[in-house]
Amino acid sequence: MLYFSYNPSHSSFFIPCPLHYISGFYCPGCGSQRAIHLLLHGDFIGAFRFNPLMVLTLPILIYGLGITISNWIFGTKYRFMLFYSNLFIFGYFGLAIIYWVLRNLPYYPFNLLAPTG
């Protein structure tokens, strides 16, 4: 796997965040590539420092993907009902917007949300 073998912090062929490149602001996804690399190497704390929202969201996404793959293999039609809840969808995107704003504030403790390495 590419993210296991190569560290995005040290490899030039990974695409940088266009928003951060142009504006200097961190988007909600900034640090995700480096966080995935660290997760694949078992460094959960380091991954959390790069992008806590992604690290906390990953188990939900993996569970949903597991249900989808299970449905495909066994021909079932189970659904992860959380993905069909308007409250969850709007709440999650609202949380992502709040996270986006807070991680760009230069004040403690909000500056801890910025990807650090």
3-class SS of residue 112: helix
In a domain, 7, yes or no: no
In a domain, 72, yes or no: yes
Name the domain count of the chain: 1
3-class SS of residue 87: helix
Q: Which domain holds residue 96?
A: 25-113
**Predicted confidence (pLDDT) per residue in 50-91, tens digit:** 999 999 999 999 999 999 999 999 999 988 888 889 999 999
- pTM equals 0.84
How far is 79 from 117, CA to CA, in rounded Å?
38
In a domain, 36, yes or no: yes
pLDDT of residue 8: 81
In a domain, 20, yes or no: no
In a domain, 107, yes or no: yes
In a domain, 51, yes or no: yes
How far is 13 from 92, CA to CA, in rounded Å?
31
In a domain, 108, yes or no: yes
In a domain, 12, yes or no: no
- Helix axis angle, 52-74 relative to 86-102, nearest 10°? 150
Task: Provide the token pair at 106.
Answer: 């230069």
